[in-house]
């Protein structure tokens, strides 16, 4: 209706606000944008579980369909947030969010591939990354893991890749990184199988405990979590799989199997043939887990130096 401010915050491909929303809100209702109503895009910027940067103090990027839309939306958000960053268009704001998430996805893909290469070279990837991180300029630290999770990083860059196909352009970095990240759960399970073989054991018929199901530490969000892929792959290999996560009391696998988190994590650790650390929650007593476990595959370097050169531990 006249005088309304409408702001899209959901991450999407460049052009959504102008090409999809504007016709429905403007022409179809006989209203003029920038005069009768105001339309803008302002991406959500949140990091679940983080307390130092919140909605209040994280700079808020805003791009309107018109200059008037940007001004009105910026004035509206400025009443509640510490810093507003106006940009020239809705498309700029839309693409800025995709750049943020694509930057992270590609760099994680790079260190995931580095982990694979380091394993073949016989080099400790965690030591390599820590050494590189001592450089005070020109380097940002990313760490490998069992795959990407959450509703942003694994998915959002593919919006841009899809959009560019309409311009006969192949977003090669995005698609390559997505391929590497998507295959990390399979790589983790292959490493677990190799470790069993080296010990003269079989993964089929073994008991595996997946430690951590949330997609990142210390939260209760399981969306797109690599734990679901690892659990499913282990089950397909014939392993009996249990999981523990203090934040995820129950889950449903990709195959529709309902699972409940084990009640006594240390009892499950002792009874498992293999403990696979997928999510490095801070609440876990990793020293006790190391002491009691028969074998651990640490995909997050949760054990730190305690897991290095330990015959009971294989690390990503």
Tell me the per-residue pLDDT of 229-271, one tens digit each, with 9 for 90 and over: 999 999 999 999 999 999 999 999 999 999 999 999 999 999 9
Determine whether 69 is an active site residue: no
pLDDT of amino acid 34: 92
Among 65-79, 151-165, 173-187, 196-210, which stretch is predicted with the lowest mean pLDDT? 151-165
- Detail the DSSP E strand segments found in the chain: 5-8, 38-41, 60-64, 84-87, 207-211, 240-244, 250-252, 258-260, 274-277, 296-298, 313-315
Q: What would the CATH number be for the domain defined by 5-91?
A: 3.40.50.720
Indicate if the pLDDT at residue 84 is higher than 80.
yes
Residues 30-34 have a mean pLDDT of 88
This prediction has a pTM of 0.90
Measured in whole angstroms, how far is the alpha carbon of residue 167 from the centre of its chain? 28
- The continuous run of DSSP H or E covering 222 comes out as none
Indicate if the pLDDT at residue 159 is higher than 90.
no
Indicate if the pLDDT at residue 47 is higher than 90.
no
Indicate if the pLDDT at residue 154 is higher than 80.
no
Residues 154-178 have a mean pLDDT of 88
Show Cβ contacts of residue 47 under 8 Å, excluding neighbours closer than 6 positions: 53
d(CA 18, CA 92): 12
Indicate if the pLDDT at residue 63 is higher than 80.
yes
pLDDT of amino acid 113: 97
Indicate if the pLDDT at residue 203 is higher than 90.
yes
Q: Length of the chain, please?
A: 316
pLDDT of amino acid 155: 81
Assess contact for 281 and 158: CB atoms under 8 A. no
What's the token pair of residue 71? 């001004």
d(CA 247, CA 256): 20
- The continuous run of DSSP H or E covering 223 comes out as none
pLDDT of amino acid 131: 97
Place of tokens 């240390």: 266
The pLDDT tens digits of the residues spanning 269-314 come to: 999 999 999 999 999 999 999 999 999 999 999 999 999 999 999 9
Indicate if the pLDDT at residue 195 is higher than 80.
yes
Angle at 272 between CA 267 and CA 274, to 5 degrees: 135
SS3 content of the chain, % helix, strand, coil (to 5): 40, 15, 45
Fold of 95-180: 1.10.1040
Residues 137-141 have a mean pLDDT of 96
Write down the catalytic residue from 69, 118, 152, 208: 152
Assess contact for 297 and 310: CB atoms under 8 A. no
5-91 against 183-315: fold identical: yes
Place of tokens 């260190």: 111
- The mean pLDDT value of the chain amounts to 94
The full DSSP string for 251-290 is: EE-TT--EEE--S-HHHHHHH-SEEEE-S--TTS-HHHHH
Helices (H), 148-264: 156-165, 172-182, 184-198, 226-236
CATH superfamily for 183-315 is NAD(P)-binding Rossmann-like Domain (3.40.50.720)
Collapse the DSSP code of 298 into the 3-class scheme (helix H, G, I; strand E, B; otherwise coil) and give the result: strand
pLDDT of amino acid 1: 79
Assess contact for 215 and 221: CB atoms under 8 A. yes
Q: In the chain, what are the domain boundaries?
A: 5-91, 95-180, 183-315
- Least Cα distance to 161 among 11, 13, 35 occurs for 13
């Amino acid at each position: 209706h006249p005088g309304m401010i409408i702001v899209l915050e959901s991450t999407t491909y460049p052009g959504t606000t102008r090409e999809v929303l504007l016709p429905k809100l403007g022409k179809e209702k006989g209203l003029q944008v920038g005069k009768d109503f105001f339309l803008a895009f302002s991406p959500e910027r949140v990091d679940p579980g983080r307390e130092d940067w919140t909605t209040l103090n994280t700079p808020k990027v805003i791009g309107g369909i018109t200059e008037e839309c940007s001004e009105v939306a910026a004035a509206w958000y400025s009443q509640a947030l510490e810093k507003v960053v106006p940009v020239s268009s809705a498309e700029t704001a839309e693409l800025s969010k995709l750049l943020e998430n694509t930057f992270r996805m590609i760099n994680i893909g790079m260190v995931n591939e580095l982990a694979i290469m380091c394993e073949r070279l016989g080099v400790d990837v965690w030591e390599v990354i820590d050494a590189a991180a001592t450089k005070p300029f020109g380097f940002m630290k990313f760490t490998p893991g069992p795959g990407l999770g959450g509703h942003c990083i694994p998915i959002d860059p593919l919006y841009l890749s899809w959009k560019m196909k309409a311009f006969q352009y192949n977003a090669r970095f995005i698609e390559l990184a997505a391929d590497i990240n998507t295959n990390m759960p399979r790589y983790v399970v292959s490493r677990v199988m190799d470790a069993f073989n080296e010990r003269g054991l079989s993964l089929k018929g073994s008991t595996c405990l997946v430690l951590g199901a949330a997609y990142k530490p210390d939260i209760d969000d399981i969306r797109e979590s690599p734990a679901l892929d690892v659990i499913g792959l282990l089950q397909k290999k014939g392993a009996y799989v249990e999981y523990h996560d203090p934040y995820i009391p129950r889950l449903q696998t990709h195959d529709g199997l309902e699972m409940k988190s084990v009640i006594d994590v240390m009892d499950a650790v002792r009874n498992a043939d293999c403990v696979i650390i997928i999510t490095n929650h801070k609440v876990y007593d990793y020293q006790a887990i190391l002491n009691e476990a028969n074998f651990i595959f640490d995909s997050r370097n949760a054990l730190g130096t305690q897991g290095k050169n330990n015959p009971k531990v294989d690390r990503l």
